[in-house]
């Protein structure tokens, strides 16, 4: 999976989003050059269901994302005999993740940035 905001004025918000992996194994978020940006790993104990408020490594893990993130890929690998496809990894707004227990929507928070041309235009309109 690859998500790219490169052609837009948006960035993923570091302060409002987190990277989450629900499942068994390891998940990493990488840039387009395959450099690892962040990641986490889980252990699975039988049919244990994780609590989104306590997502700390048993069937679920979470971590922060880097500043100025516009593009990322996700790679999930199995661990301890579990299948590669066992789980899902995603970027999500941290408040929505805790409150939306069974939702199939995955909301994210974005930051809007101004280009230097936008800043120059605004400064021309301001009184000196």
Per-domain residue ranges of the chain: 2-125
The pTM for the full model equals 0.77
Which segments of the chain does DSSP mark as H helices, in order? 94-99, 116-125
pLDDT the model gives residue 110: 93
Low-confidence ranges of the chain (pLDDT < 50): none
The pairing of strands 10-12 and 110-112 is antiparallel
pLDDT the model gives residue 103: 63
pLDDT the model gives residue 65: 93
Contact yes or no for 58/48 (Cβ under 8 A)? yes
Please give the Cα distance from 92 to 108 (Å, whole number): 5
């Amino acid at each position: 999976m690859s998500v790219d905001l490169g052609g837009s004025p948006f960035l993923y918000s570091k302060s409002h989003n987190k990277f989450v992996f629900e499942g068994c194994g390891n998940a990493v978020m990488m840039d387009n050059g395959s450099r690892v940006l962040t990641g986490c790993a889980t252990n699975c104990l039988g049919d244990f269901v994780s609590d989104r408020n306590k997502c700390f490594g048993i069937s679920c893990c979470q971590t922060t994302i880097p500043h100025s993130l516009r593009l990322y890929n996700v790679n999930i690998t199995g661990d301890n005999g579990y299948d590669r496809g066992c789980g899902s990894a995603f970027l999500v707004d941290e408040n929505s993740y805790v409150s939306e227990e069974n939702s199939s929507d995955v909301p994210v928070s974005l930051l809007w940035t101004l280009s230097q041309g936008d800043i120059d235009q605004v400064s021309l309109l301001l009184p000196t």
